[in-house]
Structure 1
């Protein structure tokens, strides 16, 4: 959701007696807690996710449906979008405190953004927005995300796990599905050219797509995207 949409939801929750805190357009833990109470009181699945059923109950049947490429309800993906442009700081011992903060918030021992952080980025986006979702053991290891959630088809917001080096090796990369063209998935991820951005990764490198178990009620679609003049990524760092 956009900040404006989140604020509308927060105001609607407050009007019905469920306190999300300040209606500031930021979807945080207090907003999630308020939504969960509303869901419990109205007979909805209590998952803290603002999906289509919650939208209809809270805002009414006339609430507009999101577009196919709108990440409404995919709060982990919205968190990822908000961090686009976050960069490493060059040089040993000179890490970006925002990236180190991803680890601190999850009690992960991580002290230098020279260490690959694509898995850390995905862990932060999910851990900050889906507090009851189990993270994989060793979330810094990209291929460890093959054990996350449940298997799904590639679609908006899904976690995509790719091989690097060799399909049978142990190196990998992990990020979020943003779209696709005929040859590649468009991946929103961290540690892509040392920053959070969107890049194209060949479809034949995909190992699996995974979906959060606590977001099982949410659905999304594939998104066809033009290639533009962006080349394929071959070794995400």
Structure 2
């Protein structure tokens, strides 16, 4: 699931004398640091995000297929990279999921505890290192306070109520597409794994966008749905 777009960015950085680490398609700390160093050299805002201005400078005189009109969403790329990650049934825990909490210094008892919020926190926190996470990122509805308000669009953090609006329970994931009745969400703890799932628009609470990535713009993605709606992601 390594991202071709990330590989192109890593190779372009290397070609210009900046070390992104391995050309592996993973948006890690060394790649972020290399982007910031390149931005500083170019007199750009050193936010570690490859938006239109950084892309134009990075891929000048290049035949790369990477397009500034389709910017890299590093948090969404990380989510895509983790598709198929599953919790371990029974008393054991998936060490990958447990490491997400450890890396962000979040107390997390085990992967039998709903981890949709932890998944979003990992994807955002490890790829947007200056982004402020909710005070309790494990609480799905806490993400209603995250970043800035936006409309549903590719990569947006999408918050839904669960069981009932008044329950305080919810689900959070990333916008991947929609049809007339539902949003397709890339999220964790969906059938106990990271996968794509359709959630009714009737359950939708809000869409949020990372405050440090306001320069990145995406569109809605219309899709044909050939499966039913999720009713409980816990």
TM-score bin (small chain): over 0.9
Q: 1:98 to 1:64 in 2, by over 3 A?
A: same
Deviations 1:180-234 (A, max 9, x none): 0010000000011111111110011111000000111111110001011x10011
1:83 alignment partner in structure 2: 82
Q: What is the CA–CA distance in structure 2 between the aligned matches of 1:45 and 1:214, rounded to whole Å?
A: 11
SS for the counterpart of 1:94 is: coil
Q: Is the 8 A contact 1:39 1:46 kept in 2?
A: yes
Q: What is the CA–CA distance in structure 2 between the aligned matches of 1:64 and 1:203, rounded to whole Å?
A: 35
SS for the counterpart of 1:186 is: strand
Number of corresponding residues: 233
Deviations 1:105-154 (A, max 9, x none): 11111131110100000000011111110000010000000110000000
Out of 104, 109, 113, the position equivalent to 2:102 is: 104
Q: Is the 8 A contact 2:156 2:208 kept in 1?
A: yes
SS for the counterpart of 1:188 is: strand
Q: Is the 8 A contact 1:55 1:63 kept in 2?
A: no
Q: CA deviation at 1:10?
A: 2.0
Out of 90, 112, 115, the position equivalent to 1:114 is: 112
Q: Which runs of 5+ in 1 are unaligned?
A: none
Q: What is the CA–CA distance in structure 1 between the aligned matches of 2:194 and 2:23, rounded to whole Å?
A: 28
Q: CA deviation at 1:77?
A: 0.4
Q: Is the 8 A contact 2:5 2:72 kept in 1?
A: no
Structure 1 runs (4+) deviating above 6 angstroms are none
Q: What is the CA–CA distance in structure 1 between the aligned matches of 2:68 and 2:183, rounded to whole Å?
A: 20
Out of 182, 185, 190, the position equivalent to 1:184 is: 182
2:13 alignment partner in structure 1: 13
Q: Which runs of 5+ in 2 are unaligned?
A: none
Out of 211, 220, 230, the position equivalent to 1:233 is: 230
Q: What is the CA–CA distance in structure 1 between the aligned matches of 2:39 and 2:74, rounded to whole Å?
A: 17
Q: CA deviation at 1:2?
A: 5.5
**Mean CA deviation greater in 152-161 or 163-172:** 163-172
Q: Is the 8 A contact 2:27 2:78 kept in 1?
A: no
- TM-score scaled to structure 1, two decimals? 0.92
1:56 alignment partner in structure 2: 56
- TM-score scaled to structure 2, two decimals? 0.93
Q: 1:84 to 1:207 in 2, by over 3 A?
A: same
**Mean CA deviation greater in 13-22 or 118-127:** 13-22
Q: CA deviation at 1:54?
A: 1.2
